[in-house]
Chain A
Amino acid sequence: MTVVETKLSRLKKLIKKQITIKEIEEALANMGMELEDVNEDDLKIEITAERTDLITPEGLARAISSYLGFTKEYQEVKVNKGNYIHNIQPSVKKYRPFTRSFVVKNIKLTNEDIQSIMWIQEKLHETFGRKRKKMALGVYDLDLIKFPIEYTAMKPKDFKFVPLGMNKELNGLQIIQTHPTGKNYADLIKKYDKYPIQIDKKNQILSMPPIINSDSLGKITSKTKNIFIECTGPDEETLDVTMNILATMFYDWKGKIYSVIIKDNKTTICPDFTSRKKTISIDFVNKYIGLDLKPKEAKECAQKMGYDVTDLKKDKLTLTIPSVRTDIWHDVDIADDIARGYGYNNITPTLPNISTIGKMLPINTLKEDLSNLLANLGLIEVKTFALTNKENQYKKMNIKQEPHISLGKNTSDKGINMVRSWLIPECIKALVANRNREYPQRIFEAGIVVIPDEKADVKSRNIEKLVCLLCEEKSNYTNIRQILDVIMDFLDIKYTIKETEHSSFIPGRVASVYVKNKEIAYIGELHPKVLNNFELELPVAALELNLTELFSL
């Protein structure tokens, strides 16, 4: 989800019709967008990720205008043929291989327009450009630049220029080491031996993509009349769409769009508004959505969603997909747009009779039965977190680290570095958090832990566990053993018990529980060392039962 900030007055000017905020809100909702906030003239509109074309107020205005029927045909941008040459040098191919660019002439920019350009540039970088990794763009004063422009790569110490917001020249390395924006995005290029640059015939550096533009060339003011726009990235399609979105915007601002010849191992003219045509069966749409649209109705719905309908023959609807729409892969995408044009809330819900038998997972039936049993015995159910850390799972429990599911380096919460491999330590945290509450505290949890398993495709497997903790002045082995007895008697399972060693427990007061020679549980009194580590002042008797194992027997 992306939030577009714009002004109501700007939208009204672009739509060129009397329109209420209510109408805008409804049209947006029907199209799948949301008017999130209205504050006098300021609007916040939430758009979904696939509709990159709506990131500009111009794109939004076009969409609203056609949804409300003000425009029936999609107005494609008129591109004038330019003689501008933009060369891609082989040296840059292994770092950031592609660039696209175009020229806008005779434009009048207000301060609001300039702010809008900057805002859209940042938004595109963040979303569509995946934080500049997939796409980064720059806007320049055309009159300061001499063509052809070379997109090339140079060693970072071999070039220098004044980056945006600075007053002295820096070389490439200095930029990523000292410039605030440079430091922010350094990760994108610092591994390279050469950095990409855009440089003109006068050897002026326009920018060092995807990091920063030149301070003198990359600054747009209300005096700027003619503009050069470029973008770079690893994927041509993303760049083409970005250029089309921006060319549409400037076109709607009454600028004249001129194409640039991009010379790679092939020649590309940019921007390219060649649009796709598609023929779709109305019967398919009706069957897919659950509608009964007549051809004419289907046509109107498609037009509302910005398609140019070029032909309508019986069941076949032929339409042109605007070139800025990157989200049309299949007929189902057009079917959905027709449904949006019709309005989801105008569709009558139906309920097909599909006869099936409901079934709960047997392991969950077992968990539920045991949880209810324990609650009936007076225990309180807790639900702890699955994500935890080694300190809690091992060190505080007075045991050595065991193989476990470790999370990677990039965890946002520094208190988390693994998935729990046993449940007792996490349940103890519930006792710790409730130390100021009344005792006795007798708690239980039925929950999943994950342990390594090299044989599995995911190198691990889930294990269902059941834990009981008894915490009060006199809780001891007898008390927890009584709980175990009730559980096993309830399940009608015979078990044997053997003394064991486990450094989380008091020696001589800990045991393993076996069913058919399989260890299915351990039980005992927690060691005072463990209690001290958790700052618990009362004894705790504990039971951890492996339900998965028990269930498989």
Chain B
Amino acid sequence: MKNLINSLSPLERKIIPFLKNDSTLQDLKESHLSEIEITRALQWLENKHILKIHKQKQELIQLDINGLKYKEKGLPEKQLLNLLKTPLTIQEIKEKSNLSNEEVNISLGLLKKQSLIQIRDKVSLTKKELTKSLEEQFLKSLPLQLSKLKPEQKHAYQELKKRKQIIKTITKKELNITLTSSGKELIKQRIPKNLTETLTPELIKNHKNLKFRRYDVQINVPSITGGRRHPYNESMNIIRNVFLEMGFQEMEGPWVETAFWGMDSMWIAQDHPMRDAQDTFYLDKKGKLPDKKFIKKVKSAHEDGYNTGSTGHTKEWDPEVAKELILRQHSTSTTFRYFYDLKLNQDCKYFYIADNFRNEAIDATHLPEFGQAEGFIMGDNLTLADLMGFIKEFYKKLGITKIKFKPTFNPYTEPSMEAHYYNEKLGKWYALINSGIFRPEALAPYGITKSVIAWGMGSSRIAAILTGKKKLKDLFGPEVDINWIKTHKRIKL
């Protein structure tokens, strides 16, 4: 009880002295608190099991327009009775009273019915002593609750209800409270008034005799938000960290590419469907090719397999086709730029989390831009088994352990392999990673004698899985709900 008393908030302390079993809101207004403050304080006290709030609809009887008038001057029949101390003709009554013809007629009828007057030439009283009528008393006692009327009040209510705008009933939501046993005890207690609410610099200095109000620590508090990173980029950072932890260096490359770096540089044939304008954004402009000696080797790789023993595509390779500028469809273009620019032929690992583009109309599940993350490892005699081993480790770092491998086809890797993972929630296998060993025809022009294994994945898809978003358009782009960014949960792996 002591803790309870010490945890009372200022509002609660103010209302407690006014609490009785069966108090109504009306009763509690004596506390001079506003209605909102009272209900808030009652709610808190209810949470502390001090009282119970009962909300009910009440029909309240109130004076109507005529009722207000009659309350002061008396009911018309009463006014009439007062006038009839001397007998009067009806005409005289109408002249002397301040009543309307209608009121006079109704009053005469009423009084006759109650045998209080007799009507001959003149109207006269039958009794000398006048008692207060039930209706009069009823009006004086208003407002009253309809449900709590006494029998005689009910009669008066019925009678008055018939008459024009004397009373009205309105429905009002009422609340009253009943005290619990601890409530009954609480109101007997002395409620201290000098509990400390807010700690101020002054109070901190002189805190010895302070008594702090105890808080209800379980109570819900209003929510706040602050600055946040975008869940999409948080997902990308997770992928980046996985690559970094595995010893990969990060790459970057241009969004606008020549078809050469996008396709020819990795031995994608010049009649490959990837070159269709339906799939690729063409800029209707041409760029420049790298040095001639190198181009000669690439041309040979396409046409006759260069020095690899491959048949090649056995078709003439046209440098003009390779000059077309495009928006890159994949970031493998950057991988091959790194082969060329850095003359790589050593043990190394590189990765790239990149934005790529495909010529597609925007709807909920299709976007012309999408994220891809890819990594390659260059080393001696790297095998398909090695590729599997690295992919397994990579998946494991993303929290995925149930995987299987499936052969597929890519123009620049052989073998080419998909790594499917089992989605426990959806009970289905999904392809997330595409991978392979770079073809000899693709590597030979760069003078690479080591082998290169590589894998890539739709990083937008991974972000969708990590953040639980089904539609890409809800995941990134200007239309993403800012409230989602503000309140999204930590990404758990």
User: Which residues in A have some Cβ–Cβ distance to B below 8 Å?
Assistant: 29-32, 34, 48-51, 130, 134, 235, 237, 287-291, 327, 329-333, 335-336, 339-340, 344-345, 347-352, 354-361, 363-364, 368, 371-372, 374-387, 405-413, 415-416, 419, 426-427, 429-430, 432-434, 437-438, 441-443, 448, 450, 456-462
Contacts and interface: CB of A to CB of B under 8 A. Distances in A.
A175 to B, nearest CB: 24
A288 B479 CA distance: 48
Contacts of B437: 288, 332
Interface stretch (B82-90, B100-108, B232-240): B232-240
B308 interface: yes
Nearest to B390: A351
B480 interface: yes
Given A387-B368, A456-B254, 9 more contacts: A235-B315, A332-B414, A356-B247, A356-B248, A356-B349, A361-B250, A426-B478, A430-B479, A433-B478
A358 B385 contact: no
B397 interface: no
16 contacts: A32-B409, A49-B409, A289-B415, A329-B305, A330-B440, A330-B441, A339-B407, A348-B385, A350-B389, A361-B252, A375-B227, A405-B256, A412-B361, A457-B258, A457-B288, A457-B290
Nearest to A288: B383
A50 B408 CA distance: 10
Interface in B437-493: 437, 439-441, 476-483, 485-486
Interface in B250-296: 250-252, 254-258, 271, 273, 276-278, 281-285, 287-290
Contact of B388 (A347, A364, A437): A347
A410 B228 contact: no
Nearest to A31: B407
A358 B379 contact: no
A329 B314 CA distance: 10
Nearest to A450: B255
A419 B327 CA distance: 9
Contacts of A32: 406-409
B230 interface: yes
Contact of B385 (A349, A356, A419): A349
A347 B415 CA distance: 13
B336 interface: no
A386 B312 CA distance: 37
List 10 A-B pairs, minimum CB-CB distance, nearest first: A290-B385, A290-B383, A32-B407, A429-B478, A349-B388, A48-B409, A351-B389, A349-B389, A330-B310, A336-B415
B481 A434 contact: yes
B281 A30 contact: no
Interface string B294-318: 0000000000010011111111000
B306 to A, nearest CB: 11
B252 A363 contact: yes
A234 to B, nearest CB: 9
Contacts of A383: 230, 232-233, 476-477, 480
B250 A437 contact: no
A30 B414 CA distance: 15
Contact of B249 (A290, A359, A442): A359
A407 B283 contact: yes
B161 interface: no
Nearest to B463: A383
A441 B481 CA distance: 12
A375 B226 CA distance: 8
Interface string B356-394: 010111100001110000000101011111101111110
B103 to A, nearest CB: 59
Contact of A374 (B227, B283, B386, B486): B227
Nearest to A328: B311
B245 interface: yes
B296 to A, nearest CB: 18
Interface of B: 226-230, 232-233, 237, 240, 243-252, 254-258, 271, 273, 276-278, 281-285, 287-290, 305, 308-315, 325, 327, 347-349, 355, 357, 359-362, 367-369, 377, 379, 381-386, 388-393, 404-409, 414-417, 437, 439-441, 476-483, 485-486
Contacts of A387: 357, 368-369
Nearest to B252: A361
Contacts of A352: 379, 382, 386, 389
Contacts of B246: 358
Most B CB atoms within 10 A — which of A335, A355, A356, A415? A356
Contacts of B226: 378
A433 B368 contact: no
A435 to B, nearest CB: 10
A105 to B, nearest CB: 33
A329 B258 contact: no
Contact of B406 (A330, A344, A384, A409): A344
A381 B230 contact: yes
A329 B385 contact: no
A380 to B, nearest CB: 5
A458 B368 contact: no
Nearest to B273: A130
Contacts of B308: 330
A331 B407 contact: no
B271 to A, nearest CB: 7
Contact of B281 (A130, A340, A377, A408): A408
B290 A386 contact: no
Contacts of B232: 383
Nearest to A332: B414
A177 to B, nearest CB: 24
B358 to A, nearest CB: 9
Given A350-B385, A386-B369, A329 B482 contact: no
Contacts of A237: 314
A399 to B, nearest CB: 20
B477 A460 contact: no
Contacts of A437: 481-483
A364 B377 CA distance: 21
B362 to A, nearest CB: 5
B385 A458 contact: no
A407 B407 contact: no
Nearest to A384: B478
Interface centre among B273, B314, B381, B388 (most CB of A within 10 A): B388
B478 A432 contact: yes
B294 to A, nearest CB: 13
A307 to B, nearest CB: 16
B475 to A, nearest CB: 9
A411 B360 CA distance: 8
A295 B121 CA distance: 142
Given A358-B247, A448-B255, A412 B360 contact: yes
Contacts of A350: 383, 385-386, 388-389
A408 B384 contact: no
Pick the most buried of A290, A329, A378: most chain B CB atoms within 10 A of its CB.
A329
A29 B407 CA distance: 8
Residue among B247, B271, B278, B407 having the largest count of chain A Cβ atoms under 10 Å: B407
Given A339-B415, A412-B361, A381 B229 contact: yes
B233 to A, nearest CB: 6
A49 B325 CA distance: 25
- Most chain B beta-carbon neighbours within 10 Å: one of A32, A335, A340, A368: A32
Given A31-B407, A287-B381, A339-B415, A380 B369 contact: no
A430 B482 contact: yes
Contact of A416 (B257, B368, B416): B368
A433 B409 CA distance: 41
Contacts of A442: 227
Nearest to A333: B414
Contacts of B276: 130
Contacts of B390: 351
Contacts of B310: 329-330
Contact of A287 (B255, B278, B383): B383
A368 B237 contact: yes
B407 to A, nearest CB: 3
Contacts of A351: 386, 389-390, 393
